[in-house]
A and B are shown apart, each in its own frame.
Chain A
Amino acid sequence: MSDRELRVSKIRNGTVIDHISAGQALNVLAILGIDAGSGETVSVGMRVPSDRLGSKDIVKVEGRELSQDEVDVLSLIAPAATINIVREFDVVEKHRVERPSEVVGVLSCPNPHCVTTEDEPVESRFDVLDDGIRCSYCDTIVRDGIAEQIDVA
């Protein structure tokens, strides 16, 4: 990306999530639990031209690295995403997301009768299928709208 096209500023320390499927940036923020009240410095680019994807979203978060659980869920809604860890303006680590066999936490089960939606000391857990995810507790399958299950509570 040339300087002329650069729409968001560089970050000093934190994470750049690049090659997010176009339109999914706000869901990525939700996965990270970032909203108006969170306090992080965040830059978001939506529908930025991309050689690889045509158009893409990009999220830069200052002072924040991602947990494995967050990366796992991210891979479901942005399978082509790359994660760049930045320290002192340099990318010190760069990797693509991989589709995990299960995701723990971050998402909530859409079945209102699922035990994970109750006040029990248990995190949500989903097996990852070829074309969706499946609650490891109640067996409910989610195919479309995985992003809608991001637990923003």
Chain B
Amino acid sequence: MRHDHIISAKQLSRADIEEVLDRAAEMDADPETFADRHGNALLGLLFFEPSTRTKMSFTAAVKRLGGDVVDLGTVESSSVKKGESLADTVRVVEGYADALVLRHPSEGSAQMASEFVDVPLINAGDGAGQHPTQTLLDLYTIRESAGFDDLTIGIMGDLKYGRTVHSLAHALTTVDADQHFVSPESLQLPRNVRYDLHEEGASIREHTELEPVLPELDVLYVTRIQAERFPDESEYRAVAGEYQIDAETLEAARDDLTVMHPLPRVDEIAHDIDETDHAHYFQQAHSGVPVRMALLDLVLGGDR
């Protein structure tokens, strides 16, 4: 893989994806072998928005490779609070670290920041834009559980604002997946994502109900519908309820259906699914460490 920065899933070819996932699988199988691989590496963490699993798993990943993090900390305690631009912040922090991980509420922030630095910059979420490392770990789980051949996937929930959905939909075009998008009309895919999928010649269909498409699916990827996307609480409740699943819902699904979720969930996946063979979302979250180890290994120059 030859990318200076990891900004969008759109930049990843099938070969790039397989390379990251193959290396992640090696690291997952035998983490000890890689324990000192990047012994002096320092990863700069710039999280301008709250994050639990992305930040923790990047931290775990670089430490498992023998490196460490330098952390901007919270925005409230940093120079950003004094009005420093993002462009200035990344130019300063690149002097402290070998690679940067950025999460920022503005769309396009990672692209812009990458234009100001020479060290590799990884987008860990830019507003409603992209979240390519989440996509790589999603793909890792999909490849492990369902495989990429003849894949039929349903993606359900907030497709308009969900950046994990936007990144995943792009990446799934590289494996020619059949993609079914299930959402309320007000939260359908945004125009730019639809445009790209169309340009790629992707096989997509859009639905407002899960039921008709559920029996066909190899994978069901569920995302959270957030109350703040709706004008009032009652409208949210009416809509969100339509896109919640439980064990009974899945009786209509194939026995080997893989259910995924980028987490955190609220109530869109009932707890009675957790103990079934369908549930892959915790395994999906755990794979964040080996996948991010593999990605860091590649951007830090771990070619053998």
Contacts and interface: CB of A to CB of B under 8 A. Distances in A.
B115 A139 contact: no
B112 A116 contact: yes
B107 A115 contact: yes
A120 interface: yes
A120 B106 CA distance: 11
Given A113-B106, A114-B106, A141 B195 contact: yes
B109 interface: yes
Nearest to B127: A113
B111 interface: yes
A119 B85 contact: yes
A136 B128 CA distance: 15
A141 B192 contact: yes
Contacts of B86: 115, 118, 120
Interface in A87-135: 111, 113-116, 118-122, 134-135
B304 interface: no
A149 interface: no
Contact of B112 (A111, A119, A122, A134): A122
Contacts of B302: none
Interface string A127-153: 000000011111111000000000000
A120 B107 contact: no
A113 B125 CA distance: 13
Interface string A20-48: 00000000000000000000000000000
Nearest to B83: A119
B85 A120 contact: yes
Main secondary structure of the interface of B (DSSP, over half): mixed
Contacts of B112: 115-116, 120, 122, 137
Q: Of residues B86, B104, B108, B191, which shows the largest number of chain A Cβ atoms within 10 Å of its Cβ? A: B108
A114 B195 contact: no
A111 B109 CA distance: 13
B87 interface: yes
B111 A113 contact: no
Main secondary structure of the interface of A (DSSP, over half): loop
B111 A137 contact: yes
A140 B128 CA distance: 11
Contacts of B108: 114-116, 135-139
Contact of A114 (B87, B107, B115): B107
Interface string B118-144: 000000001111000000000000000
Contact of A113 (B105, B192, B195): B105
B87 A138 contact: no
Nearest to A129: B195
Contacts of B126: 115, 138
Given A122-B112, A141-B191, A141-B195, A113 B87 contact: no
A14 to B, nearest CB: 35
Given A113-B127, A120-B86, A120-B112, A134 B107 contact: no
Interface in B191-216: 191-192, 195
A139 B192 contact: yes
Nearest to B104: A115
Contacts of A137: 107-108, 111-112
A128 B211 CA distance: 40
Interface in B76-104: 85-87, 104
B191 A122 contact: no
Contacts of A114: 106-108
A126 to B, nearest CB: 12
22 contacts: A111-B107, A113-B107, A114-B107, A114-B108, A115-B106, A115-B107, A118-B86, A120-B85, A120-B86, A120-B87, A120-B112, A121-B85, A121-B87, A135-B108, A137-B107, A137-B111, A138-B108, A138-B126, A138-B127, A139-B108, A139-B192, A140-B107
Given A115-B104, A138-B106, 13 more contacts: A113-B106, A114-B106, A114-B108, A115-B108, A115-B109, A115-B112, A116-B108, A118-B86, A136-B111, A139-B108, A139-B192, A140-B192, A141-B192
